[in-house]
Amino acid sequence: MAKRTLKKFEEFTGLENSLEFPQEVKGKWKKELFKNDNPLTLELACGKAEYSLALAEMFPDRNFIAIDKKGNRMWRGAKTAVEKKLSNVLFLRIYIEDLMSYFDENEVEEIWITFPDPFPRKGKAKKRLTSPRFLKMYDQILTAPGQVHLKTDDKQLFDYTIEAIEAEKWNVNDSQQDIYGSSKMDPLLKIQTYYEKLHLEDGRKIYYLRFGR
């Protein structure tokens, strides 16, 4: 690990709003960690957590958890949250495939998946965060009617996700193949991640799905 990356990782682990593979937090996020009963939103594969930060500022009466496996990625988001005194956002370092070990049934109201690795090779389809095995996890931890949002620049992942959620009997509530081509753009979709800005510079379209039960 490069010295700069290691320094960020070490600083992340020492921040008051960061947790690494915590024990016995399942079912305790609202009452014990956030100390309120506000709705809970997760951002999966968050990177620098641009979405969690923006949403936490927009909705102070909601709780947000940014999740990724690399602490050095989340370092920037966690540090910014401390600097801005955002008490309604936490940063959780875990493997997303272990989500059920950290969240109880019906504990989460909303999930954002922003520009995840599309894993284009067919043999790695099960790693996609909208594959059936992940959808089953979301189904368990989400309240009814819970919502999942996907933003991606990858048409193949977008199409795959539609097929997967239809096969798993989820409802497609919104489907857009070019969010910036819309005359009435949802303010929530105007939040841009680091990768989204790069994709837009390359002239790529940004796809969006919202689905739930």
The SS3 assignment for 137 reads helix
Q: Which of 37, 61, 104, 117 is catalytic?
A: 117
Report how far residue 55's alpha carbon sits from residue 188's, in angstroms, rounded to the nearest whole number: 8
Other C-beta atoms within 10 Å of 137: how many? Answer: 18
Q: Which helix (H) or strand (E) holds 154?
A: none
Q: Could you tell me the CA-to-CA distances from 175 to 40, 172, 208, 210 in Å, in that order?
A: 23, 7, 6, 7
Report how far residue 189's alpha carbon sits from residue 77's, in angstroms, rounded to the nearest whole number: 19
Within 8 A by CB and 6+ apart from 97, the residues are 133, 134
Query: Distance from CA of residue 98 to its chain's centroid?
Result: 14
Q: Which helix (H) or strand (E) holds 92?
A: strand 89-93
Report how far residue 67's alpha carbon sits from residue 189's, in angstroms, rounded to the nearest whole number: 19
> Which of 140, 167, 163 shows the shortest CA–CA distance to 209?
163
Q: Which two tokens stand for residue 102?
A: 């950290």
202 included as an active-site residue: no
Show which residues are catalytic.
Answer: 117
